[in-house]
Structure 1
Amino acid sequence: MAADSASPAGLLLSQGGKGYPSLAGLMRQVTPAVVNISVESRVGEEDHPFLRDPEFRRFLDRIGVEAPEMDPSERRKSMGSGVIVDAKNGYVMTNNHLLRDATKIIVTLKDRRTFRARRIGSDSATDIAILKIPPVKVKPLKLGNSDRLEVGDFVIAIGNPFGLGQTVTMGIVSAVGRSGVAGNHLGKLIQTDASINPGNSGGPLINLAGEVVGINTALIGPTGGNVGIGFAVPSNRASTALHKLTRSR
Structure 2
Amino acid sequence: MDFFLRTSLIIFISIFISGCINSNDLNLEATIDARVDQAIAKIATATPQIFVDPTPQPTATPQVFIDPTPQPTATPQIIEIIPPTPQPTATPQINIDPTPQPTATPQIFVDPTPQPTATPQIFPKIIKPNDLYNQWRFSVPRIRSDGATGTGWVIEEDWIITNEHVVKDQSSVIVSIPQKDGTSKDVYGLVYGVDKKRDLAAVKINSKLNGIEPLKIFDRKYLTSLDAGTEIVQIGYSTGTAGFPVIKSGVVTTVILQMGKALDYGIKPTLKVLPGSSYTKDGVMLIVFNTGADPGDSGGPIIDFEGNVVGVVFAQVQSAGGSRVIGTQLAISMREVEVVWDLLKLGTDTSNN
TM-score (norm 1): 0.70
Task: Check the 8 A contact 1:39/1:105 in 2, yes or no.
Answer: yes
Aligned to 1:11: 125
Task: Check the 8 A contact 2:311/2:331 in 1, yes or no.
Answer: yes
Q: Deviations over 1:79-98 (max 9, x none)?
A: 000010122xx110000111
Candidates 163, 166, 179, aligned match of 2:258: 179
Tell me, yes or no, if structure 1 residue 30 matches structure 2 residue 131: no
Cα distance, 1:120 vs structure 2: 1.1
- Quick one: distance in 2 between partners of 1:105 and 1:234? 24
Cα gap change, 1:178/1:171 in structure 2, threshold over 3 Å: closer, same or farther?
farther
Alignment of 1:1-249 (within 5 A): 10-12=124-126, 22-40=128-146, 77-87=147-157, 90-102=158-170, 104-111=172-179, 112-136=184-208, 137-141=211-215, 142=217, 143-147=219-223, 150-165=227-242, 166-177=245-256, 179=258, 182-184=263-265, 187-221=284-318, 227-246=326-345
Structure 2 counterpart SS, 1:187: strand
Cα distance, 1:211 vs structure 2: 2.2
Which one scores higher on RCO, CA 8 angstroms, separation ≥ 6?
A: 1
Cα gap change, 1:32/1:124 in structure 2, threshold over 3 Å: closer, same or farther?
same
- Quick one: distance in 1 between partners of 2:118 and 2:298? 26
Cα distance, 1:244 vs structure 2: 1.8
- Quick one: distance in 2 between partners of 1:128 and 1:183? 15
Cα gap change, 1:128/1:6 in structure 2, threshold over 3 Å: closer, same or farther?
farther
- Quick one: distance in 2 between partners of 1:82 and 1:100? 14
- Quick one: distance in 1 between partners of 2:166 and 2:337? 15
Task: Check the 8 A contact 1:197/1:219 in 2, yes or no.
Answer: yes
Cα distance, 1:35 vs structure 2: 1.0
Structure 1 counterpart SS, 2:227: coil
Bigger strand fraction = 1
Q: Deviations over 1:143-172 (max 9, x none)?
A: 521136700000111111152441100000
Give 5+ residue unaligned stretches, structure 2. 1-116, 269-282, 320-324, 349-353
Amino acid in the other structure paired with 1:193: N
- Quick one: distance in 1 between partners of 2:171 and 2:191? 10
Cα gap change, 1:248/1:108 in structure 2, threshold over 3 Å: closer, same or farther?
closer
Amino acid in the other structure paired with 1:201: S
Structure 1 counterpart SS, 2:340: helix
TM-score (norm 2): 0.50
What's the C-alpha RMSD, in Å, of the aligned pairs?
2.8
Bigger helix fraction = 2
Structure 2 counterpart SS, 1:176: strand
Structure 2 counterpart SS, 1:140: coil
Aligned residues: 197
Larger Rg, first or second structure (1 or 2)? 2
Give 5+ residue unaligned stretches, structure 1. 14-21, 41-76
- Quick one: distance in 2 between partners of 1:103 and 1:245? 14
Task: Check the 8 A contact 1:30/1:210 in 2, yes or no.
Answer: no
